[in-house]
Amino acid sequence: MLHLTESYATAEVDLDHYHQIHRRVRRVRPRHAPLRVDTVALVDVVANDAEKTVTWDTLAMIPLGSLPA
């Protein structure tokens, strides 16, 4: 399963550091890369602050569009 996310945090950062990270991400080329999404996963997400983990259980897979004939 392809998983897209902007970031995960394990500690607080100040606003200047946050902006530096986002400036670097915005410099990535190509800025507009094509992406096809044909399924969406409905997930139940649990963040564990003590262990610094994020886990999830897939509840449903939802296909988008129509299936080829």
**pLDDT tens column, 11-29:** 788 889 888 888 887 887 7
Which residues of the chain, if any, have pLDDT below 50? none
Q: Is this prediction's pTM over 0.95?
A: no
Whole-angstrom distance, CA of residue 52 vs CA of residue 50 = 6
Task: Compute the radius of gyration of the chain from its Cα atoms.
Answer: 17
Domain residue limits, the chain:
15-63
